[in-house]
Amino acid sequence: MTSMISQTSLPQDSPAGQRYVSVYALHAGSIFLPDSDVFEDSIGKDGGLTVPSFAFLIDHEVHGKFMFDLGLRKGGKGYPPAWDETLIELKVDCSKNVADLLQEGGVQPSSINSIIYRYSKACGPHLHFDHVGDLTPFPHAELIVGADTAALMQQTYPGDPTSLWPEWPAGQKVRYLHFGDADAPARPIAPFHSFARALDLYGDGSFYLLDAPGHLPGHLAALARVSPNAFILLAGDCCHNRQCYTPGVRLVSRENYHDIETARDTVERLKRMNGEPNVVLVLAHERERLEDSMPLFPQRLNEWVTTEIVRKRHE
Ligand SMILES: [Zn+2]
């Protein structure tokens, strides 16, 4: 599959007043990831690592604030009981959730306009509870999810006691998004650099959603433009360790990816985008970023991205 990847260049800044977004990383809890779920060459072996679950606050100068993921739930509590075994197995640890962290940093959860979930479908346990957090502190936020989620929400907990998905809070506004959607303000772009499909969320080149399936169908990544011709690539769960994308010698494990061929194809696309000198990649569980002194909210990532780009050029 990988031999079919074509590549275009990343869109340049618009000379007619380019818009940028501010990006902030929130460390919204940790989980234990067994190596056998991360690396193909670790299948059948013991061992693993405690990794962060990052969520991201994005601030757009016109459209305001939105969240890209919501991390874990506080104390690992409030999930449908179908998650119970997984929560113990993955040693969920979350003393402060996204709403707590935002408040500590001076941002009121009520000021968040929208929340993007990177997943559009559920397929099996222990895959995605670590990013959906708690919607209740965000009463004004519109939830943006893949169009496939509509079917999923037909069977929710507690109506269906075995469901992995809680029903959404009463009155939750939901926007279903799909690639190929001609509705403004989401503009489809295909192809986009090494990826087959992307959406220019605000139509101004500041934030692109990338179709990045494999870990789950409908899994999304995002590319944010943070300063003149500088990007941060929020790669989510495309892979679960840096060694899978740089130097990229370790393959992702078939034990943790819904469609292993597609997942590896997506990692290949990721590696190519990361090959651009003006792109800095961060995975949702990239523990090395904590050691790299990546600044956490309330400090923003934009200036750090610029420094990382300079460092990358000198490598
Ligand atoms: Zn995850």
Q: Where are the domains of the chain?
A: 18-313
For the chain, the average pLDDT equals 89
Q: Give residue 147's pLDDT.
A: 72
Distance, CA 127 to ligand 1 centroid (Å)?
Answer: 6
Please check the confidence at residue 75 and state whether its pLDDT lies above 60: yes
What are 154's two structure tokens? 């037909």
Task: Tell me how far apart the alpha carbons of residues 1 and 269 are, in angstroms, rounded to a whole number.
Answer: 11
Percent of the chain with pLDDT over 70: 93
Please check the confidence at residue 126 and state whether its pLDDT lies above 50: no
Q: Give residue 148's pLDDT.
A: 67
Range from 27-36, 119-128, 155-164, 186-195 carrying the lowest mean pLDDT: 119-128
Is the bond preceding residue 185 a cis peptide, omega within 30 degrees? Answer: yes
Distance, CA 239 to ligand 1 centroid (Å)?
Answer: 9
Task: Tell me how far apart the alpha carbons of residues 85 and 73 are, in angstroms, rounded to a whole number.
Answer: 16
From the list 119, 117, 103, 129, the residue with the least C-alpha distance to 26 is 103
Residue 107 · residue 113 · CB < 8 Å: no
Q: Give residue 2's pLDDT.
A: 47
Distance, CA 222 to ligand 1 centroid (Å)?
Answer: 15
Q: Give residue 180's pLDDT.
A: 59
Percent of the chain with pLDDT over 90: 66
Please check the confidence at residue 111 and state whether its pLDDT lies above 90: yes
Task: Tell me how far apart the alpha carbons of residues 248 and 246 are, in angstroms, rounded to a whole number.
Answer: 4
Stretch 213-219: mean pLDDT: 78
Distance, CA 285 to ligand 1 centroid (Å)?
Answer: 7
What pLDDT digit, counting tens, does each position of 43-61 carry? 999 999 999 999 999 999 9
3-class SS string, the chain = CHHHCCCCCCCCCCCCCCCCEEEEEEEEEEEEEEHHHCEHHHCCCCCEEEEEEEEEEEEECCCEEEEECCECCHHHCCCCHHHHHHHHHCCCECCCCHHHHHHHCCCCHHHEEEEECCCCCCCCCCCCHHHECCCCCCCCCEEEEECCHHHHCCCCECCCCCCCCECCCCCCEEEEECCCCCCCCCEEECCECCECCEEECCCCCCEEEEECCCCCCCCEEEEEEEECCEEEEEEECCCCCHHHCCCCCCCECCCCCCCHHHHHHHHHHHHHHHCCCCEEEEECCCCHHHHCCCCCCCCCCHHHHHHHHHHHHCC
Say which residue, 123 or 63, is predicted with more confidence.
Answer: 63
Q: Give residue 55's pLDDT.
A: 97
Say which residue, 217 or 284, is predicted with more confidence.
Answer: 284
Residues 6+ apart with CB under 8 A from 99: 109, 134, 137, 138
Task: Tell me how far apart the alpha carbons of residues 224 and 294 are, in angstroms, rounded to a whole number.
Answer: 16
Q: Is 219 left (phi over 0), alpha (psi -120 to 50) or beta?
A: beta
Please check the confidence at residue 235 and state whether its pLDDT lies above 80: yes
Distance, CA 17 to ligand 1 centroid (Å)?
Answer: 36
What pLDDT digit, counting tens, does each position of 160-180 carry? 999 888 888 889 998 887 775
From the list 175, 260, 248, the residue with the least C-alpha distance to 209 is 175
How many Cβ atoms are within 10 Å of 105's Cβ, its own excluded?
14
Please check the confidence at residue 123 and state whether its pLDDT lies above 50: no
Residue type (1 letter), 1: M
Distance, CA 311 to ligand 1 centroid (Å)?
Answer: 28
What pLDDT digit, counting tens, does each position of 294-311 carry? 999 999 999 999 999 999
Say which residue, 129 or 148, is predicted with more confidence.
Answer: 129
Distance, CA 266 to ligand 1 centroid (Å)?
Answer: 16
Please check the confidence at residue 127 and state whether its pLDDT lies above 80: no
Stretch 79-93: mean pLDDT: 91
Stretch 113-118: mean pLDDT: 90
Task: Tell me how far apart the alpha carbons of residues 132 and 69 are, in angstroms, rounded to a whole number.
Answer: 6
Confidence of residue 144 (pLDDT cuts 50, 70, 90): confident
Distance, CA 236 to ligand 1 centroid (Å)?
Answer: 7
Looking up tokens 């935002």 gives 102
Distance, CA 314 to ligand 1 centroid (Å)?
Answer: 31
Distance, CA 188 to ligand 1 centroid (Å)?
Answer: 26
* CATH class of the domain whose range is 18-313: alpha beta
Q: Give residue 39's pLDDT.
A: 96
